[in-house]
Amino acid sequence: MDLGGHRFFSKDERVMKWWFSIFAPQGKPSLDDKLLNRKSPLISGGPDPETQDDVFLVRKRISRIYYKKTFFDYPLLLSFKTMYNLGIFTLTQAGISYLISCVHKRPETSLENFYINRFGKKLYSMFFESYTEKLWGRHPKDISADWGAQRVKGLSVLAVLKDLAQRVFHTQPKHKETSLIEEFYYPKYGPGQLWTAVADKITAQGGQVLYNHPVTGLTRQGEHLTGVICNGKEIPADVIISSMPIKDLVTALPQSPEPVKEVAQHLPYRDFVTVGLLVDKLALTNNTAVHTFNNQVPDCWIYVQDSQVKMGRIQVFNNWSPYMVKEVQNTVWLGLEYFCNERDEFWNMPEEKCISQAMEELKKIGVISDNTRILAAHREHVQKAYPAYFDSYANIRTVTDYLNQFDNLYCIGRNGQHRYNNMDHSMGTAFETVQNLLNGRTDKSNIWNVNTEKSYHESK
Ligand SMILES: Cc1cc2nc3c(=O)[nH]c(=O)nc-3n(C[C@H](O)[C@H](O)[C@H](O)COP(=O)(O)OP(=O)(O)OC[C@H]3O[C@@H](n4cnc5c(N)ncnc54)[C@H](O)[C@@H]3O)c2cc1C
Confidence of residue 78 (pLDDT cuts 50, 70, 90): low
Q: What is the pTM of this model?
A: 0.87
What is the model's pLDDT at position 212? 97
pLDDT exceeds 60 at position 162: yes
Q: Does ligand 1 have an atom closer than 6 angstroms to the CB of 214?
A: yes
d(CA 80, CA 456) in angstroms, rounded, equals 28
The residues, ordered by sequence, that sit 6+ positions from 250 with a Cβ below 8 Å of its Cβ are 256, 260, 261, 264, 265, 399, 402, 403
By most ligand atoms within 8 Å of CB, the mutation choice from 2, 6, 240 for ligand 1 is: 6
DSSP calls for 190-238: -THHHHHHHHHHHHHTT-----S--EEEEEEETTEEEEEEETTEEEE-S
Task: Please give the Cα distance from 376 to 11 (Å, whole number).
Answer: 38
Residue 20 has pLDDT above 50, yes or no: yes
- Dihedral (CA of 129, 131, 136, 137) sign: positive
Which residues, at least 6 apart from 387, have a Cβ–Cβ distance to it below 8 Å? 245, 267, 268, 269, 414, 415, 418, 419, 420
The residue whose CA has the least distance to atom 20 of ligand 1 is 423
Task: For residue 332, name the pLDDT band (cuts at 50, 70, 90).
Answer: very high
Read off the pLDDT of each residue in 292-309 and give the average, rounded to a whole number: 93
Band of pLDDT at residue 169, cut at 50, 70 and 90: low
Residue of 61, 243, 246, 432 to test ligand 1 pocket, by largest number of atoms within 8 Å of CB: 243
CATH 3.40.50.620 fits 269-387, yes or no: no
How does pLDDT run across 373-416, given as a tens digit for each residue?
999 999 999 999 999 988 999 999 999 999 999 999 999 999 99
pLDDT over threshold 60, residue 424: yes
- Note the pLDDT tens digit of each residue in 95-145: 899 889 989 999 988 999 999 998 899 989 988 898 899 999 999 998 888
The answer to whether domain 210-267+389-448 and domain 269-387 are alike in fold is no
- Is it the case that residue 1 has pLDDT exceeding 70? no
Which run of H or E residues covers position 304?
A: strand 301-304
* Cα–Cα distance measured from residue 340 to residue 346, given in angstroms and rounded to the nearest whole number: 7
CA 120 to ligand 1 centroid distance, Å: 33
Q: What digits encode the pLDDT tens for the residues 182-213?
A: 788 999 999 999 999 999 999 999 999 999 99
What are the residue ranges spanned by the domains of the chain? 1-60+185-207, 64-180, 210-267+389-448, 269-387
Q: What is the mean pLDDT of the chain?
A: 89
CATH code for the domain defined by 210-267+389-448 = 3.50.50.60
pLDDT at 350: 98
